[in-house]
Amino acid sequence: MKATFGGGCFWCTEVIFQNIEGVHTVLPGYMGGKLENPTYEQVCEGNTDHVEVVQIDFDETKVDFDALLKIFFRTHNPTTLNRQGNDVGTQYRSVVFYHDEQQKEMTDKFISSLQEQGVFADPIVTAVEPAVTFFEAENYHHDYFNQNPGNPYCAAVIAPKLQKFLKEYQS
């Protein structure tokens, strides 16, 4: 089964889902834009309408889509339009790209529930869109955090986010 999420920089999102039992693969890439085979540089310019996403292949008997939604909404800010922290632009927008009607319904229901419960002080701006062509990111983006732990962005932004998630997720 597949799930595709855009929640800011795909380096941040990738490492979170790599730590979930039942997730087979997490691929960084681009979705939702108007250009065939975009490059990282083109997407970063913010003119292609692509989103940095992770495409997750998972085993539904070990982790279901609802659990992945919970993790996704817990590990990024779904209330900021086209922004996650210092990452600003449409390529960082919060979006769930659904692969079938069941995923769409589950996502809509999940977002409604979060809003009704007042989990976030501000309205959720996460888009819910049909999955379109996934363009896999360049090889140097794959497993980025694990391959580059000394990178200043990894050390300052990703490492604390991952540590916080693992602490909360395991409790």
Q: Which residues are catalytic?
A: 9
> In sequence order, which ranges of 2-95 are alpha helices (DSSP H)?
10-18, 40-45, 65-74
DSSP notation for 128-166 = EEE----EEPPGGGTTHHHH-TTSHHIIIIIHHHHHHHH
φ/ψ of residue 67, rounded to 5: -65, -40
Handedness of CA 17, 4, 91, 74 (dihedral sign): negative
**Distance between CA 4 and CA 68 in Å, rounded?**
10
The token pair at 78 is 């779904």
